[in-house]
Chain A
Amino acid sequence: MERWQAVAAVVFGYLLVTLAVGLLAGRRVTESVAGYVAADRQFGLITMYFITGATIFSAFAFLGGPGWVYSRGAAAFYILSYGVLGMAPLYFFGPKAGRLGRRFGYVTQAQLVAGRFPSRAISLLFALISVAAFVPYLMLQMSGAGIVFSAVTDGHISFELGAALSYGVVLVYVLAGGVAAVGWTNVFQGVIMMAIAWALGIYIPTQLYGGIGPMFDRIAEVRPELLVPPGLDADGSPWSWGAYSSAVLSSVLGFLMWPHLFMKVFTSRDDDTLRRTVILFPTFQLFLLPLFFVGFAGVLFPSAPEQPDWIMPHMILSSGLPAVVVGLFCAGALAASMSTGDGLLHGAASIAVEDGLAPFVTLTDRQRRILMRGLVIALGTLAYFLAIVQKQSLVWLLLTAYGLVDQFAPPVYAALFWRRATTKGVLAGLIAGIVTNIFFLLRPELRPFEIHEGILGVIVNTAVLLVVSLATAPQPKEHADAFVSAPEEPRAAFAGVGR
């Protein structure tokens, strides 16, 4: 058996186990929208921990992270900073949002916002932005899977076939099991990702330089500019502090606003589970370190990959590791890609139906589930063909996506924390934020201090929200209180929740 065949065998083994886990898990939930989208709100700590971790760390972390370190040095450190800061607010507002979900039956972020601010336009805007932001993100995950397959099998399994195989598996278990399948496969995928990342991150620097310390000694001598933020720009010139800092801030703000992530607050069993998930999340965040070590190990390595994003497979293939280990790496990278891709696919379909269609047409529970499954297939196919045709401008698309998602932050925080906010204020702010964001995206040279357009959009969004809300009639007190005061009676809310 040739080496690439052994590698492929390990990868197929991984795909089969994932498929089995997904299909088995899907049989455990009820046939309902709450079952398909929120897993009957029954996820415990272990599941929530790995779902959150595996959903967040995607092919971008596994391939893009080391790729950035390799080509741009400490610029990549921004990825270290935003995760924990982005996640921490969930400790404070997550339990409240989860309780509102249980009380009013919400399964999506837009339902929560439109529950506080009744407006079909808000619901529709959330649905449109979510789907627009998910497609490029999904394309990135599919490209990641394709890259890994074609790199480790020397092209015997093509980019197109690799992406199709891995996302074929995702499609089957998402269709069959909904979020329960996503959850349990993510537990399995999360364990694989973490184990592989730490093993390789320590092994490769030790093998090549005699340890992590000695590796940094060498880099500090030869390329010291790579070790201090803000690092380098894509063209090798120094990156600006404005761009570095606003990359951190824009990601912090947008982090929890990604609808597929936000929706997970509706899947947790109770407040404590959600809190513990947030507390444990930094341990998952630390797994970026070994991935960064592999990127740094590549800096002084004699040969270079075709593109920086290929540094991870390049290092693994060049360091003479046995085929089984290469196969396991491949499984880890696929796990990172698929565990995010499945959530995106499932989230996009759920949101399109729940927020884009349900407010306008009457649909039964069963019709909604059928539509969601149809959209999973349609969106998956669309993203796949876009990923194959257009591989270049993904970073641009993803940055666009983050700026748009940032615009959800003011409405969500206003819904949960500001009694005086009004529907007109939120809608006007949202539209102003989106327009500002798109304007600076198209005219980047006009951005002050190279500040990310998402942040500029949020500033305008918040200002308009404040001014228009104050200029319009306040909401009835009981209505606003039901949303804003929810956290102050935690004991009352616990009463109805069984363990």
Chain B
Amino acid sequence: MNATALSPSTAGNPKEGDMRAAVARRLAIAFFSVQTIAVVYPGLVPFSRIEPRVLGLPFSMAWLTFWIVASALVLWGVSVVEARSRRED
């Protein structure tokens, strides 16, 4: 990540992809940090409830399931950005 921080890039520069990849990784790490708080005390407390029901599931169960699905999407997103940055050079 240090290597990319040293290269304030211009359009068309292959380093721009590197920077996007570094940003994507940081955003993903932020997402997982938020998730860690959202599934334990105290982040889970407001969502530890039965209503409203989602697809028949109690809200608490739907909330925890949502984070599983969102995690897959976030990781997939990072990998797409990273793969693109690798292809650029």
Which A residues are closer than 8 A to B by beta carbons?
74, 77, 80-81, 83-85, 88, 91-92, 211-214, 216, 220, 224, 227-230, 241-242, 244-245, 248-249, 252, 272, 275-276, 278-283, 285-286, 289, 292, 488, 490-491
Return B1 CB to nearest CB of chain A, in Å.
Answer: 7
Chain A residues whose CB sits within 8 angstroms of the CB of B25 once the complex forms: 92
Known: A227-B58, A252-B36, A488-B1. A220 touches B50 (CB 8 A): yes
Interface contact B65-A85, CB-CB below 8 Å: no
Please name 30 pairs of A and B residues whose Cβ atoms are closer than 8 Å in the assembled complex, sorted by A: A77-B60, A77-B61, A80-B64, A80-B68, A81-B40, A83-B68, A85-B36, A85-B71, A88-B75, A91-B75, A92-B29, A220-B50, A229-B60, A230-B41, A241-B41, A241-B42, A242-B41, A244-B40, A244-B41, A245-B40, A249-B36, A249-B40, A272-B83, A275-B79, A279-B72, A279-B79, A281-B72, A286-B65, A289-B61, A491-B86
Known: A213-B56, A280-B72. A84 touches B67 (CB 8 A): yes
Distance A245 CA – B48 CA, assembled complex (angstroms): 13
Distance A242 CA – B60 CA, assembled complex (angstroms): 18
Distance A85 CA – B35 CA, assembled complex (angstroms): 8
Identify which of A212, A224, A252, A275 contacts B50 (C-beta below 8 A): A224
Chain A residues whose CB sits within 8 angstroms of the CB of B53 once the complex forms: 213, 216
Interface contact A216-B57, CB-CB below 8 Å: yes
Identify which of A213, A228, A272, A286 contacts B60 (C-beta below 8 A): A228
Closest to A286 in B: B68
Return A210 CB to nearest CB of chain B, in Å.
Answer: 11
> Which among A77, A220, A285, A491 has the highest number of chain B CB atoms within 10 Å?
A77
Q: How many residues of B contact A (CB 8 A)?
A: 39
Distance A330 CA – B23 CA, assembled complex (angstroms): 47
Interface contact B58-A88, CB-CB below 8 Å: no
- Which DSSP category, helix, strand, loop or mixed, fits chain A's interface? helix
Chain B residues whose CB sits within 8 angstroms of the CB of A278 once the complex forms: 75
Is B39 positioned at the interface, with any CB of A under 8 Å from its CB? yes
Chain A to chain B: the 10 pairs with minimum beta-carbon distance, closest first: A213-B56, A245-B40, A282-B72, A241-B41, A81-B39, A227-B58, A245-B41, A279-B75, A80-B64, A84-B71
A-contacting residues, B52-89, CB 8 Å = 53, 55-58, 60-61, 64-65, 67-69, 71-72, 75-76, 78-79, 83, 86, 89
Known: A216-B57, A490-B86, A491-B86. A248 touches B3 (CB 8 A): no
Identify which of A220, A249, A281, A491 contacts B58 (C-beta below 8 A): A220
Distance A270 CA – B29 CA, assembled complex (angstroms): 22
Is B10 positioned at the interface, with any CB of A under 8 Å from its CB? no
Distance A285 CA – B67 CA, assembled complex (angstroms): 11
Which B residues are closer than 8 A to A by beta carbons?
1-3, 25, 28-29, 32, 35-36, 39-42, 44-45, 48-50, 53, 55-58, 60-61, 64-65, 67-69, 71-72, 75-76, 78-79, 83, 86, 89
Return B75 CB to nearest CB of chain A, in Å.
Answer: 4
Chain B residues whose CB sits within 8 angstroms of the CB of A244 once the complex forms: 40-41
Distance A263 CA – B1 CA, assembled complex (angstroms): 26
5 A-B pairs besides A283-B72, A292-B61 with CB distance below 8 A are A74-B48, A74-B61, A80-B64, A220-B58, A285-B68
Closest to A89 in B: B32
- Total number of residue pairs linking A and B with CB closer than 8 Å: 106
Known: A279-B79, A488-B2. A85 touches B44 (CB 8 A): no
Distance A453 CA – B3 CA, assembled complex (angstroms): 39
Chain A residues whose CB sits within 8 angstroms of the CB of B39 once the complex forms: 81, 85, 248
Identify which of B50, B61, B79 contacts A276 (C-beta below 8 A): B79
Return A208 CB to nearest CB of chain B, in Å.
Answer: 14
Interface contact B64-A77, CB-CB below 8 Å: yes
Chain B residues whose CB sits within 8 angstroms of the CB of A488 once the complex forms: 1-3
Chain B residues whose CB sits within 8 angstroms of the CB of A241 once the complex forms: 40-42, 45
Closest to B2 in A: A488
Return B18 CB to nearest CB of chain A, in Å.
Answer: 10
Distance A282 CA – B75 CA, assembled complex (angstroms): 10
Distance A242 CA – B45 CA, assembled complex (angstroms): 12
Interface contact B29-A228, CB-CB below 8 Å: no
Chain A residues whose CB sits within 8 angstroms of the CB of B42 once the complex forms: 241
Closest to A83 in B: B68
Return A276 CB to nearest CB of chain B, in Å.
Answer: 7
Distance A220 CA – B29 CA, assembled complex (angstroms): 36
Closest to B45 in A: A241
Return A242 CB to nearest CB of chain B, in Å.
Answer: 7
Known: A229-B60, A286-B65. A88 touches B71 (CB 8 A): yes
Interface contact A88-B32, CB-CB below 8 Å: yes
Chain B residues whose CB sits within 8 angstroms of the CB of A77 once the complex forms: 60-61, 64
Distance A390 CA – B50 CA, assembled complex (angstroms): 39
Known: A224-B50, A249-B40, A488-B2. A282 touches B71 (CB 8 A): yes
Interface contact A228-B75, CB-CB below 8 Å: no
Chain B residues whose CB sits within 8 angstroms of the CB of A286 once the complex forms: 65, 68-69
Interface contact B57-A229, CB-CB below 8 Å: no
